[in-house]
Structures are given as structure tokens and as C-alpha cells.
A and B are shown apart, each in its own frame.
Chain A
Amino acid sequence: DTGVSQDPRHKITKRGQNVTFRCDPISEHNRLYWYRQTLGQGPEFLTYFQNEAQLEKSRLLSDRFSAERPKGSFSTLEIQRTEQGDSAMYLCASSSQGVPETQYFGPGTRLLVL
């Protein structure tokens, strides 16, 4: 079991550019989550998928953000027209239904918008 993986690990972009991040969950996990973490804060929930269905979105997820999980396996998070305020660590986690439903996190993607 290789755990949750994310790609890229680091991304530097200029304001106004689009960026896309990928997350590969643990293979048997049907739930996938995206969080954003800014400096000095804990992670904040962005969105969550059960299989391919996006079931919940935070108000933090403006219309510039879109997430997909087309086949219920990997997921992508796209940010269009990036702003400096989008600079953060983007964390992906996965879990399988059950008790406890522990979310296992990937290494994250650090985004810097210049």
C-alpha cells in the first residue's frame, strides 16, 4: 500500500494563470477530501467525494475552483485565474466508510502565486 500521493509537490505560478493538482487516494478508499492550509493555521475543508460524486463543497471553494473525480479513483483540483491569496498548502485525504473513519493524508502540494 503506497498511501495517498499528490502531484506536484510544489508549484510556483504567476497571478492569473491556471493550475491543476492531482491526488491519488489509497486504492480501496471510496472517499476523497481536499483541504487547504495557510501558514499558521490548521487545514480547512474544501470539498469531498464519495466515489465519483462530489457531495459537499465549502464556501471557501469559489467559482474559480473546481474539483473532479471522474472514475471514482484519482481526483484533480483546478484553480483558474490564480490570485496571491491562493498561496497555500493543498492537502488531499482519503478514507473508507466505517468506524472510525480515519482520513489519511497525502504529502500536499505547496502553491506559491507570484
Chain B
Amino acid sequence: AQKITQTQPGMFVQEKEAVTLDCTYDTSDPSYGLFWYKQPSSGEMIFLIYQGSYDQQNATEGRYSLNFQKARKSANLVISASQLGDSAMYFCAMREVNFGNEKLTFGTGTRLTIIP
């Protein structure tokens, strides 16, 4: 079964609008971390934001915020006031802490295109 599911293969958003990228996850580990990365066409994975499973508040980093709904097992990324430079692939990833897994498990990504 997919551990990380990103159901939006591509999205087109007008510049300056907010955008929500969906991510659902599946784990039985009570302790886990959720990450979002941005991958421009150059290929480098750029860390954006982190949410721990025990964090009480939704994570925020500048224009990025994470809408964490633990009961629904969703961790959607919200980008406010989108910019042309936000056009890229976005990946949601999970690390399961207690299962001895140090690896990240990634979804298939969402290609975001910002329209001027």
C-alpha cells in the first residue's frame, strides 16, 4: 500500500493566489515526521517545512504552512501569495521514527505551475 499519496499530478495557479497541495499518509507508527520538499527543474530537493506527529500546532515557515489533520492522516501544504518562482515539483515525505527507519518515503509529487 502507498505510504504517501499525492493525488494531484499537476496544478495551475494564478500568480498571487494561495494554493493547497494535498498529501495523505499511512502509518501505524505513533511517532513520525512529515516533510515537504520543492524540486525545481534543476533537480535539487529543497526542504520547505516539517511537521512532527506530536506537534500541537500546524507548522509555518514564511509563505508555507502545513495543514496537519492527524485523524484524517493528511498533511497538506499551503503556499500563500504564490510567485512565479514557486513553479516546481513538490514532494511530500514521511519518516517513521519507531520502526527503526531512517529513510524518507516520498509521494509521487505534484507539478505546480504559476501563471502570470
Residues of B within 8 A of A (CB): 4, 33, 35, 37, 42-47, 50, 52, 91, 93, 95, 101-109
Interface check A102, CB cutoff 8 A: yes
B33 and A45 form a contact (CB under 8 A) = no
Q: Total number of A-B contacts with CB less than 8 angstroms?
A: 61
B45 and A100 form a contact (CB under 8 A) = no
Residues of A within 8 A of B (CB): 31, 33, 35, 40-45, 48, 50, 55-56, 58, 89, 91, 93, 99-108, 110
B44 and A105 form a contact (CB under 8 A) = yes
5 extra A-B contacts, CB within 8 A, seeds A43-B45, A102-B35, A107-B44: A31-B102, A42-B4, A89-B43, A100-B50, A102-B50
Nearest chain A CB to B40 CB, angstrom units: 10
